[in-house]
């Protein structure tokens, strides 16, 4: 049995570290690819409702994917039972709690104009997270894949 020097052991740890980073990058790419493939199958917006107190219906329009550290618009469309857009309805947006430190929506509370409420979403890590829209006490949740353009290291 040959004894390894401290330098050789350090090199082995670096190689293992680089392999893990490459693995993470490929895993995120696979998740992103699956999300885009599955998400792309249903291009129509899902209508949720009626809401508990008002009887409104709404849909939540989000991108399937975004780039890390870039902004994206999230839009909720609110309508009555006849499909007419409704103004003056408060809509609350949020990111899932596990991502609260690295992702945000601003503003988090928006009043509909022309039946639409818009907010800006931004995230600093790569992965898949869920954003939530709430109208009255009714919620709709969507998954968004976050990638890092040109990054093959997997660092987040």
Cα 32 from Cα 65, distance rounded (Å): 7
Which pLDDT belongs to residue 43? 47
pLDDT in tens, 50-106: 787 788 999 999 998 999 999 999 999 999 989 999 999 999 999 999 999 999 999
The CATH number of the domain holding residue 101 is: 2.60.40.10
Task: Give the model's pLDDT for residue 25.
Answer: 47
Are 78 and 117 in contact by the 8 Å Cβ rule? The answer is: yes
Confidence of residue 121 (pLDDT cuts 50, 70, 90): very high
Confidence of residue 47 (pLDDT cuts 50, 70, 90): confident
Arithmetic mean of pLDDT, 110-118: 97
Residue 142 within a domain: yes
Residues 15 and 120: their CA atoms lie apart, in Å, by 39
pTM above 0.85, yes or no: no
22 domain-assigned: no
For 132-155, b/e burial (b = at least 16 CB within 10 A) is bbbbbebebebbbbbbbeeeeebe
Dist. CA 53–CA 56, nearest whole Å: 8
Is 6 domain-assigned? Answer: no
Q: Is residue 49 part of a domain?
A: yes
Query: Over the chain, what is the mean pLDDT?
Result: 78
Domain count, the chain: 1
List Cβ neighbours of 141 (8 Å cut-off, separation of 6 or more).
96, 130, 131, 132, 133
- For residue 117, give its domain range: 44-147
Inside any domain, residue 156 = no
Number of neighbours of residue 33 by Cβ within 10 angstroms: 13
């Amino acid at each position: 049995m040959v004894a390894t020097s401290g330098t050789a052991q350090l090199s082995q740890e670096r190689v293992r570290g680089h392999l893990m980073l490459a693995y993470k990058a490929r895993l995120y790419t696979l998740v992103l690819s699956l999300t885009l493939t599955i998400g792309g199958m249903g291009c129509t917006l899902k209508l949720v409702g009626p809401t508990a107190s008002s009887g409104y219906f709404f849909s939540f329009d989000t991108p399937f994917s975004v780039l890390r550290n870039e902004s994206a618009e999230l839009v909720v469309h609110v309508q009555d039972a006849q499909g007419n857009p409704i103004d003056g309805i408060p809509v609350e947006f949020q990111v899932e709690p596990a991502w609260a430190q690295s992702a945000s929506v601003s503003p988090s509370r928006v009043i509909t104009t022309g039946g639409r409420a818009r907010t800006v979403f931004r995230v600093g890590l790569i992965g898949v997270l869920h954003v939530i829209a709430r109208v009255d006490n009714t919620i709709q949740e969507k998954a968004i894949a976050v990638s890092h353009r040109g990054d093959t290291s997997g660092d987040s």
